[in-house]
Structure 1
Amino acid sequence: MFKHAQLESVKAWIGDPEHAALPLRARVQRAIRQLILDGVLEVGRPLPASRSLATSLGVSRDTVESAYSQLHAEGFIERRVGSGSFISARAQHFPGRGKSRKTDFDRTPPVRLSQRGNAILQNGGVRDFLTPRPFAPGVPETRNFPLPIWERLERQVLKEFGTQALLHSPPHGMEALRQAIAAYVNLERGASATAERVLILTSTQQALTLCAQVLLDAGDPIFIEDPVYHGARKAFDAAGLACVPVPLDRDGLMVEHLLEQTRTSATSPKAVFLTPSHQFPSGVTLALDRRLAVIEWARRHQGWIIEDDYDSEFHYAGKPTACVQGLDPHHRTIYIGTFTKSLFPGLRLAYMVLPPSLVTPMTIARTLQDGHSAPIPQLTLARFIEGGHFGAHIRTMRAVYAERRDVLVRLVREHLADFVEARVPGGGMQMPCLFIRDIPESEAVERARQAGVDVLGLSALHASPHHRTGLLMGFAAHAPHELDVAVRKLAAVLRALCD
């Protein structure tokens, strides 16, 4: 029979609210198993008869019998006809027997990770805003998305493809979507793409990780913009690359710095990361002469240009500049696009337009990550693009976002003029605001978060210590009245910090 303390331990385990989702038989079985694993029940010790234990626990005999049967199947107990149930000798080989598991855990030294694992842990990964609050950068408005059209197209896909749509997608993506993307970027972005050169992925982050792993070795340098999109730098850091910052001015990346470092460095970087349409976070556009200069640099040094065209659809003054990839006749540019910003984050679809020489290496490397993207969203998105719905949605949201940018500019000048200077972007989904007073940036970000406002500190995006502090404020996902409330909250936070 169980001792009183052991019986009470089983009762406590069964009654623990954390285990309430388990069936009663599973709770009884796991409670007894835990006593065995902890060494509380010795090898060879008899267990109570099922009827007796059921009475003590206030459960049915069938529940205890089911628990005993599972323990027997897992090798924790032996059942002998006419003699009862006993703790199995196999249980003595469990390494934690006879020790307090909590004490053992408390004394366990920190886990030893690889250098890459430690780098990933230290840089903290990339945080998505799961429930967007005002000013979270890079978050689109989803309340305007035409769900009825999407649902209709998805039903068409399921009706046409049936159970075929439930199978694996090819690792490079469904042909219909690759064709639709190639046609779209050729027309709207001035790209030079074919369906065969499009690789469907789940995110821009996956694309950046693939570029870091396939194109460069650990320790290799890579040119990055300064400031730079934090997800890119973290992907490159995690791969062990040495990021070499290149400063910006009003015309984008200062290419003369890149060329100078190439001439004077013993180990010149063989890749450069760019956000040329709307630089993140400054919002500036890379001038044409500098685009051509980067292309020539890549040709001359057999380098790679990693072009992230993350929100090029949202340009508010005329048409956006053609992408770098479409200007590059030497096939040295990898073009990255995503539907996370233009449609909705839950879609989890992005893509790369690759030079012909990289199609096979990148596709094979992708199979070692998540293998493929889900076919149903791919096929639905292909019809969404082909039917003109994607273009119509972009036009609608471009007007919405332009209005919200203007509203935010007005609100910042009305309520935050004593604290920040707004740098009004010509496109994109966020606006940098530079402090004009001595305000502790990290404390401002934290206090804003506590007040219900998500802003991103600009310092985290800079590699150089020589920069002005400030906040990056997203405006796309919230209506004018929501922006008004949020700006007033932020004003109260900054005012309290300055008093």
Structure 2
Amino acid sequence: MFRHSQLESVKAWIANPAHAAMPLHARIQRAVRQLIVDGALGPGKPLPASRALAASLGVSRDTIEAAYTQLHAEGFIDRRVGSGSFVAEITEFAPGRRSRRDTLASDQAPALSRRGAAVFDGGGVREMPAPRPFAHGVPETRTFPLALWERLERQVRKEVGAQSLFHGDPQGTEPLRRAIADYVNLERGARATADRVLVLTSSQQAMALCASMLLDPGDGIFLEDPAYYGARKAFEAAGLDCVPIRVDRQGIVVDQILAAPQRAKAVFLTPSHQFPTGATLTLDRRLALIEWAARHQAWIIEDDYDSEFRYAGKPTACVQGLDPHGRTIYIGTFTKSLFPGLRIGYAVLPPQLVKPMTVARTLLDGHTAPMAQLTLARFMEGGHFGAHVRTMRGVYAERLDVLAGLVAKHLSDFVEPQVPIGGLQMPCLLTGGLAERTAVDAARRAGIELLGLSALHAAGDGRAGFLMGFAAYTPFEIETAVRKLEKAFRAATKR
């Protein structure tokens, strides 16, 4: 028979609510198997007779027989006619040996490759499943026209049928690629055709593809400083030498690139709305970078992550549309303009990169879900995308005004708001009294999320401050959060 502790262990496993969906015989089988794997039942040890164990557990003998039969089929026990059931001679699960293995696994660092260690040490890119004020880069989703989206999805399902359940084109469905090309040509002044668009799951995936397909480990890439943390992590994980280039009110300082033009083989830009400063790259600097890339056979990676939302002045044309030499990769995403759960981004590629990038993409995730692509294509073709963006542009402009006013009223002792002309977040510079880490920690204790600016500066010489996202929060939510922030900051200064 089992010892008392072993029997109680089986009973606890059976009664665990997490296992309630399993049939009773499967729960018993798993419980006994766990005793064997943990070494509590060693090789050759006899198991209780099925009748005796059934009585101890208050179940039928057939249930125990079914559990034993499965354990035997999996090789965990031997069943001998006339002798009973015994733990199989699996020395791998012996107590001493298993304990040693567990100790090694818990005490030692994982045996990762150099690239794997770089990815792990970088911490990845984490997004909040349920964002709270003032998480940055999050659009309003509560007013998204979900009923319209569902109606379009039903239309697609009815017309396409089971075809949408198969593998999709790794480059993306033709209707969506055509809709994206039409959109970026009209709204962003791009040079795009459907056959040059690669549909991806995110702009992050596009950056990872650029890093692995256009550059080798050790190659240099010019990066805005400060820069979007996801880009820097993607390029560092690929083993690239990230060369920080200062940003001023006119965008990236091109003179630093022209002074050492062969230091890097690519440059990463957010020219329409620099992250996080909000600066717009001037035309003369755009043209200088295009000339640099053409002369040195380098690449321009242009991330146009939230250019739809501009609240003052007219949007500038993208760099890709100004580049006659085909050295620019244009990256866009619907995460900010529609909703994060859509998981659709894209890249407009030079013709010679379409096939290599598409092949590389097949090794990552194969393709983007066809149903979502076809629904989005119909959403765009029907004019709904443009209408939604125009509506949200007005909503976000109002929320930015509310946030800027409340920060000036309640937080002027601590920060100086840098009101942007576009985007989904507002930078604030600390003016004294609080350290950045203290401010971010105090906010988090109050249930408020702030992204510190210091970590976005590679050179370590940027002013302390934080980003405040505003797009996803109503004026009432913004006011409530700002008042909480004021109390948190004042309490922090008294410590």
Please classify the TM superposition score into its range, dividing by the shorter chain length. over 0.9
The 3-state SS of whatever aligns with 2:199 is strand
Deviation digits for residues 239-279 of structure 1 (CA, Å, limit 9, x no counterpart): 111110111111111111111122xxxx5101000000110
List alignment gaps of at least 5 residues for structure 2: none
Q: Following superposition of structure 1 onto structure 2, how do residues 260-279 of structure 1 map, counting pairs within 5 Å?
A: 260-262=259-261, 268-279=263-274
Q: Following superposition of structure 1 onto structure 2, how do residues 215-254 of structure 1 map, counting pairs within 5 Å?
A: 215-254=214-253
Deviation at 1:35, TM superposition (A): 2.1
Alpha-carbon distance between aligned partners in 1 of 2:481 and 2:55, rounded to the nearest angstrom:
60
Amino acid at match of 1:315: R
Deviation at 1:36, TM superposition (A): 1.9
Amino acid at match of 1:63: T
Deviation at 1:63, TM superposition (A): 1.9
The answer on whether the counterparts of 2:223 and 2:244 sit within 8 Å (CA) in structure 1 is yes
Deviation at 1:48, TM superposition (A): 1.7
* Matching residue of 2:65: 65
The answer on whether the counterparts of 1:38 and 1:99 sit within 8 Å (CA) in structure 2 is no
The 3-state SS of whatever aligns with 1:99 is helix
Answer with 76-85 or 222-231: which moved more.
Answer: 76-85
The answer on whether the counterparts of 1:339 and 1:348 sit within 8 Å (CA) in structure 2 is yes
Alpha-carbon distance between aligned partners in 2 of 1:31 and 1:100, rounded to the nearest angstrom:
21
* Matching residue of 2:475: 480
Alpha-carbon distance between aligned partners in 2 of 1:23 and 1:235, rounded to the nearest angstrom:
45
* Matching residue of 1:32: 32
* Matching residue of 1:457: 452
Identity among equivalent positions (%) equals 67
Is 1:132 equivalent to 2:131 in the alignment?
yes
Deviation at 1:483, TM superposition (A): 0.3
Q: Following superposition of structure 1 onto structure 2, how do residues 264-413 of structure 1 map, counting pairs within 5 Å?
A: 268-413=263-408
* Matching residue of 1:46: 46
Pair 125,281 (structure 1): closer, same or farther in 2 beyond 3 Å: same
Alpha-carbon distance between aligned partners in 1 of 2:461 and 2:324, rounded to the nearest angstrom:
37
The answer on whether the counterparts of 1:459 and 1:469 sit within 8 Å (CA) in structure 2 is yes
Alpha-carbon distance between aligned partners in 2 of 1:176 and 1:195, rounded to the nearest angstrom:
8
Alignment counterpart, residue 99 of structure 1, candidates 88, 93, 96: 96
Alpha-carbon distance between aligned partners in 2 of 1:369 and 1:120, rounded to the nearest angstrom:
16
TM-score, normalization: structure 1?
Answer: 0.96
The answer on whether the counterparts of 1:38 and 1:100 sit within 8 Å (CA) in structure 2 is no
The answer on whether the counterparts of 1:221 and 1:244 sit within 8 Å (CA) in structure 2 is yes
- Number of matched pairs: 492
Amino acid at match of 1:461: L
Q: Following superposition of structure 1 onto structure 2, how do residues 74-89 of structure 1 map, counting pairs within 5 Å?
A: 74-89=74-89
* Matching residue of 1:422: 417
Alpha-carbon distance between aligned partners in 2 of 1:17 and 1:162, rounded to the nearest angstrom:
39
The answer on whether the counterparts of 2:42 and 2:95 sit within 8 Å (CA) in structure 1 is no
List alignment gaps of at least 5 residues for structure 1: none
Deviation digits for residues 162-205 of structure 1 (CA, Å, limit 9, x no counterpart): 00011111100000000000011000100000000000000011
Answer with 351-360 or 107-116: which moved more.
Answer: 107-116
Deviation at 1:327, TM superposition (A): 0.3
Amino acid at match of 2:326: H
Deviation digits for residues 69-97 of structure 1 (CA, Å, limit 9, x no counterpart): 110110111223444322223x23x2x41
Alpha-carbon distance between aligned partners in 1 of 2:439 and 2:96, rounded to the nearest angstrom:
47
Alpha-carbon distance between aligned partners in 2 of 1:368 and 1:62, rounded to the nearest angstrom:
48
Q: Following superposition of structure 1 onto structure 2, how do residues 207-218 of structure 1 map, counting pairs within 5 Å?
A: 207-218=206-217
The answer on whether the counterparts of 1:458 and 1:472 sit within 8 Å (CA) in structure 2 is yes
Deviation at 1:34, TM superposition (A): 1.9
Task: Give the alignment's Cα RMSD to 1 decimal.
Answer: 1.5
The answer on whether the counterparts of 2:330 and 2:348 sit within 8 Å (CA) in structure 1 is yes
Deviation at 1:51, TM superposition (A): 1.5
Amino acid at match of 2:402: V
Alignment counterpart, residue 432 of structure 1, candidates 427, 432, 438: 427
Deviation at 1:3, TM superposition (A): 3.0
Alpha-carbon distance between aligned partners in 2 of 1:78 and 1:106, rounded to the nearest angstrom:
29
The 3-state SS of whatever aligns with 2:213 is helix
Answer with 368-377 or 31-40: which moved more.
Answer: 31-40
Alpha-carbon distance between aligned partners in 2 of 1:447 and 1:51, rounded to the nearest angstrom:
62
Amino acid at match of 1:15: A
Deviation at 1:15, TM superposition (A): 3.3
Alpha-carbon distance between aligned partners in 1 of 2:217 and 2:62, rounded to the nearest angstrom:
59
Deviation at 1:22, TM superposition (A): 3.5
Amino acid at match of 1:150: W
Deviation at 1:27, TM superposition (A): 2.0
Amino acid at match of 1:466: D
The answer on whether the counterparts of 2:168 and 2:370 sit within 8 Å (CA) in structure 1 is yes
Alpha-carbon distance between aligned partners in 2 of 1:392 and 1:59, rounded to the nearest angstrom:
63
Amino acid at match of 2:438: E
Pair 146,102 (structure 1): closer, same or farther in 2 beyond 3 Å: farther
